[in-house]
C-alpha cells in the first residue's frame, strides 16, 4: 500500500503504518489523520513529537504509563491519564498516535 502526500508517495504496510520511519514528515501525520477524520491540534502534536523522541531513544513506543506520566509532567497532571489520550486518539494512543508518528504498530497481547 502507499500514501500520497503533496505529490510524494510513501510506502505503508497493510494497515497503513509507514514502512520506513525515516521517511516521515509532518504532512504524513496530517494526511493519515485527515483520512480518519481527526483534526490535528497542538495537543495532538505534543503527543506525536514525544512518541518520535522516545522511539528514537528506545526503538519502541513508550508504555501507556510512561506516556501518561510524561504528558502529565509536561502538560499538567489533569492531562496525565489515558482518558485524555483517548480523547485525542479515540482508537487508542498506542496504535493511532504511533501510526501518525510514523512508528511501527505495537505487537503482542496489547
Q: Does 92 bind another protein (CB under 8 A)?
A: yes
Site for another protein in 29-68 (CB under 8 A): 57-60, 62-66
Q: Which residue is listed with cell 487508542? A: 92
The total of other beta-carbon atoms located within 10 Å of residue 61's CB is 23
42: helix, strand or coil = helix
Detail the DSSP E strand segments found in 1-110: 2-5, 8-11
C-alpha gyration radius of the chain: 13
Cell of 59: 526503538
| Contact with another protein (CB under 8 A) among 1, 74, 76, 86 | 86
Q: Smallest distance, Å, CB 66 to another protein? A: 5
Q: Smallest distance, Å, CB 14 to another protein? A: 5
Q: Smallest distance, Å, CB 47 to another protein? A: 15
Give the interface with another protein as residue ranges (CB under 8 A). Answer: 14-15, 57-60, 62-66, 69, 81-83, 86-87, 90-92, 94-95, 106-110
Amino acid at each position: 500500500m502507499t500514501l500520497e502526500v503533496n505529490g510524494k508517495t510513501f510506502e505503508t504496510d497493510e494497515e497503513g503504518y509507514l514502512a520506513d520511519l525515516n521517511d516521515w514528515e509532518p504532512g504524513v501525520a496530517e494526511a493519515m489523520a485527515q483520512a480518519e477524520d481527526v483534526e490535528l491540534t497542538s495537543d495532538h502534536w505534543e503527543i506525536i513529537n514525544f512518541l518520535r523522541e522516545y522511539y528514537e531513544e528506545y526503538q519502541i513506543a513508550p508504555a501507556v504509563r510512561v506516556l501518561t506520566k510524561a504528558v502529565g509532567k509536561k502538560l499538567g497532571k489533569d492531562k496525565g491519564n489515558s482518558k485524555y489520550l483517548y480523547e485525542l486518539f479515540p482508537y487508542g494512543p498506542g496504535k493511532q498516535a504511533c501510526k501518525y508518528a510514523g512508528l511501527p504498530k505495537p505487537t503482542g497481547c496489547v
